[in-house]
Amino acid sequence: MSRAAAQRCTIAGPVGPIEAVIETPAGLAADQVTRFAVVCHPHPQHGGTMDNKVVTTLARSFHDLSLPTLRFNYRGVGASAGQYAEGIGETDDALAVLAHGRALYPSAQPWLAGFSFGGRVALRVATHATAADVARLVTVAPAFTRYYETPADVPVPACPWLVVQGDADEVIDAAEVIAWVQALQPAPQLAVLAGVGHFFHGQLDALQQQVLDWVATT
């Protein structure tokens, strides 16, 4: 497991400062970075922050692949300015963080990841007109069914896409998510973890391994 040096910082956002953490695997200089990842956290009105355990597990997965990561708090969370904006403003926040990552690593490919509500935000960013260069997308227990009426309404990114879902999710209907994902065209890679709930209690290592295995085989 790679150790990563953490730097807390403030990123200029569309409604004011965005609180963020940039983590860089040990020994990796900025001019050596070929890929970096932005990780989006769960719903801000239900306790979601950039320090959520699933979010930090995703970040560690990327560190093991030698990617720096940018985690951040949406507007109105922690020290980030503003207030909740129905997912639209939070997408704009993520786009600002992505732009900051591009400025830090101008020759690197961006990856995106998100958990729950953050999965929806990451998907919106990955399919945004200014984010055509996103190279990979990872969404964990994504809250798509709460925000899109049918699978046909879900924008599908051009990049490789992994969806990880526990079949014992107590927050999001796992069967519904699985059916939606399988109906997408083209369908993303789907990993269903048996007996795993929404917050992956006791299963964070399994989540990390899913990400690592997917990257190794795609």
pLDDT in tens, 37-56: 999 999 999 999 999 999 99
**pLDDT score of 1 more than 60:** no
**pLDDT score of 160 more than 90:** yes
**pLDDT score of 151 more than 90:** no
For 28-39, how does the pLDDT look when each residue is reduced to its tens digit (9 = 90+)? 998 999 999 999
For 178-204, how does the pLDDT look when each residue is reduced to its tens digit (9 = 90+)? 998 998 888 999 999 999 999 999 999
**pLDDT score of 149 more than 70:** no
Domain ranges of the chain: 4-217
- Kindly state which CATH superfamily the domain 4-217 is placed in: Alpha/Beta hydrolase fold, catalytic domain (3.40.50.1820)
* Sheet with 109-115, edge to edge strand ranges: 4-13, 16-25, 69-72, 35-40, 109-115, 136-140, 161-166, 189-193
User: Which residues, listed in sequence order, are joined to residue 69 by a DSSP beta bridge?
Assistant: 23, 37
